[in-house]
A = this chain, B = another copy of it.
């Protein structure tokens, strides 16, 4: 691959340089990725309606627990029946609240103009997030730390197909929880210029991170309200419960008009019914309940419908990911989200322990579900392994290749006169070869996806090169990208202000960690 990668001409191939990148790995910038030819359907419209109606019935009769008193109060004021912590939501109320949510919004970063539409017919990719462990480039699995966290930020920033941060790629456990969000946000704002995610765990964490994004963007709070710049994923405690810290985050984020993604973790056979329809009803009910609260609290605030239904391995009880069951529910999740006119989040997941064939095919099953389902955000887009228990640099590089392939797949197929190539076929005729023809030569540098990882050398050449597997090739690419990393430019005054804020808040002791 070296001649292509080091050839300056090849690096010009249609790319608009957008991020810092190393001299050794050529990548294409696809710009905004769009669905132009519709979506897949796993169920009929009637079945979508049956899932919807069952979800409403569940919310109305069984109800759902909201552990935060203010959340219950808001819902009660809007027509819900509250009994203890249990809240029953009338179907008309849910439908009316969900209808208040915007269909699309833009998520902004500190680089002017580098914002992304969330919802509608576009899709952006997020990093792996929240892994408690990672595997080092030397193959050691270890507990998350700031060193690893920073390298994942560097690698993600280097991969042009990764658009936004989905959280901490790996949890920097060596930073004390009271100040972790401060150091982690500082790293994120200085090592990357991607839109950032904040954990919806209590109000102060969110206030700190929003102040940091305000500083990083150099704008005021009114602008942040108009231009959402930080997002958060809120998981229901399935089945049928939202806990207090999460809800406190929801109330604060929606007040500040920052988008919240409601993602029930409905693992069929464990926290949800074993039947996919049952798990989807529960997913849908829990997501709608969260969105109902958000819209009741702050009508019109941006929200995202998150789908994360998978199945357990019934032998061991372990979660399975990237299964055909997962693919089906991911596609149905998209059908449901579109029924409500809501942005949809799905994920690129794998339960594999090794970066092997299983990791490759499970991620592809997941991407088939996400893209077939019309996901607007592909969460855990790059680097998620072992059912989320570790982040992997090699997997991040391989996933970036898969995401670039998805981008290639989504590009419209050109059937213009020149592309139909009748003159070229006639010119070359029976038994000829197209390689040297002008029609080929004019296009060969840009016509096809040029992979980071896929190795198409013949057997002999590949053997002579040491027969590297995809995992090994991705390791080399990850090392190269991290070693040659250059942080995106940042104004020195802004950087100093961020640092001052972090130091001041650390001196104040950060946040309470009694949750």
Binding site for B on A (CB under 8 A): 1, 3-4, 37-38, 40-44, 47, 50-51, 54, 57-58, 61-62, 64-65, 86, 141, 237, 239-241, 268-278, 281-282, 311-320, 323-325, 327-328, 332, 351-365, 368, 372, 386-387, 389-390, 398, 402, 405-406, 408-409, 413-416, 418-422, 424-426, 428-435, 439-440, 443-445, 447-450, 453-459, 462, 467, 469-471, 474
**Bound Cα distance from A455 to B322, whole angstroms:** 12
**Bound Cα distance from A462 to B467, whole angstroms:** 25
Closest Cβ of chain B to A327, distance in Å, is 6
Interface pair A358/B278, CB less than 8 Å apart: no
**Bound Cα distance from A426 to B86, whole angstroms:** 12
Interface pair B47/A402, CB less than 8 Å apart: no
Interface pair B62/A429, CB less than 8 Å apart: yes
Interface pair A469/B356, CB less than 8 Å apart: yes
Interface pair B315/A54, CB less than 8 Å apart: no
Closest Cβ of chain B to A225, distance in Å, is 34
Interface pair A352/B470, CB less than 8 Å apart: yes
- Chain B hits for A351, CB < 8 A: 454, 456
- Chain B hits for A398, CB < 8 A: 357, 361
Interface pair B356/A414, CB less than 8 Å apart: no
Interface pair A439/B274, CB less than 8 Å apart: yes
Q: Which listed residue, B65, B357, B450, touches A471 by the CB 8 Å rule?
A: B357
Q: Which listed residue, B42, B352, B447, touches A37 by the CB 8 Å rule?
A: B42
* Residue of A323, A422, A430, A471 with most partner-chain B CB within 10 A: A430
- Chain B hits for A415, CB < 8 A: 43, 47, 50-51, 277
- Chain B hits for A359, CB < 8 A: 357, 360
Q: Which listed residue, B1, B43, B406, B421, touches A277 by the CB 8 Å rule?
A: B421
* Residue of A272, A358, A362 with most partner-chain B CB within 10 A: A358
**Bound Cα distance from A86 to B325, whole angstroms:** 51
* Residue of A274, A414, A424 with most partner-chain B CB within 10 A: A274
- Chain B hits for A51, CB < 8 A: 415, 420
Q: Which listed residue, B311, B450, B454, touches A358 by the CB 8 Å rule?
A: B454
- Chain B hits for A453, CB < 8 A: 357-358
- Chain B hits for A1, CB < 8 A: 315
- Chain B hits for A357, CB < 8 A: 355-357, 359-360, 398, 453, 469-471, 474
Nearest neighbor of A449 in chain B, beta-carbon distance: B324
- Chain B hits for A269, CB < 8 A: 434-435, 440, 444, 447-448
Q: Which listed residue, B278, B332, B421, B435, touches A419 by the CB 8 Å rule?
A: B278
Interface pair B439/A241, CB less than 8 Å apart: no
Nearest neighbor of A424 in chain B, beta-carbon distance: B273
Closest Cβ of chain B to A356, distance in Å, is 4
Interface pair A316/B456, CB less than 8 Å apart: yes
Tell me whether A433 and B363 are in contact in the complex, defined as CB-CB below 8 angstroms, given that A420-B281, A459-B353 are known contacts: no
Interface pair A314/B271, CB less than 8 Å apart: no
Closest Cβ of chain B to A63, distance in Å, is 9
